[in-house]
């Protein structure tokens, strides 16, 4: 008798979602337990993080673009480079493979 009582109470608590009990407010959204205030706080926080990210990337981009890019020397014609097995419908080279401008 007592065991059955305990078991049914345990079951009811589990079904209700842990130890929240009946005092807990009904969930507003089924996939989130967040409140309006919490969402506003998070919105402001992530807005700041985004601005910080944009600022960091801008500095990095400026630094990167001011450096210019290195020019590589043409390697010897090793057999595993510039592989050509058969022609494409438009010719022997891939559409984006023209490297002569470097």
Partner 1 sequence: MIESQRHSFHLVDPSPWPISGSLGALATTVGGVMYMHPFQGGATLLSLGLIFILYTMFVWWRDVLRESTLEGHHTKVVQLGPRYGSIPFIVSEVMFLFAFFRASSHSSLAPTVEIGGIWPPKGIGVLDPREIPFLNTPILLSSGAAVTWAHHAILAGKEKRAVYALVATVSLALVFTGFQGMEYYQAPFTISDSIYGSTFFLATGFHGFHVIIGTLFLIICGIRQYLGHLTKEHHVGFEAAAWYWHFVDVVRLFLFVSIYWWGGI
- Answer for the pair 38, 32: CB distance below 8 angstroms, yes or no: no
33 contacts partner 1 (rule: CB under 8 A):
no
Judged by beta carbon, residue 70 or residue 91, the one nearer partner 1 is 70
Q: What percent of the chain is helix, strand and coil (3-state, nearest 5)?
A: 50, 5, 45
| Residue at token pair 């990210």 | 53
Residue from the set 83, 87, 90, 100 that interacts with partner 1 by CB under 8 A: 83
The residues near 17 (Cβ < 8 Å, ≥ 6 apart) are 24
30 contacts partner 1 (rule: CB under 8 A):
yes
Which residues are near partner 1 by CB under 8 A? 28-30, 32, 34, 36, 39-40, 42-43, 45-47, 49-50, 53-54, 56-57, 60-61, 64, 67, 69-70, 72-73, 75-76, 78-84, 94, 96-97, 99, 102
């Amino acid at each position: 008798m007592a065991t059955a009582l305990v078991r049914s109470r345990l079951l009811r608590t589990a079904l209700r979602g842990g130890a929240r009990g009946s005092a807990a407010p009904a969930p507003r959204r089924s996939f989130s337990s967040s409140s309006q205030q919490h969402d506003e706080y998070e919105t402001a926080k992530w807005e700041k993080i985004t601005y910080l990210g944009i600022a960091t990337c801008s500095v990095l981009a400026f630094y990167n673009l001011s450096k210019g890019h290195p020019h590589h020397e043409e390697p010897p014609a090793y057999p595993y480079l510039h592989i050509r097995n058969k022609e494409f419908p438009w010719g022997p080279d891939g559409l984006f493979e023209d490297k002569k401008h470097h």
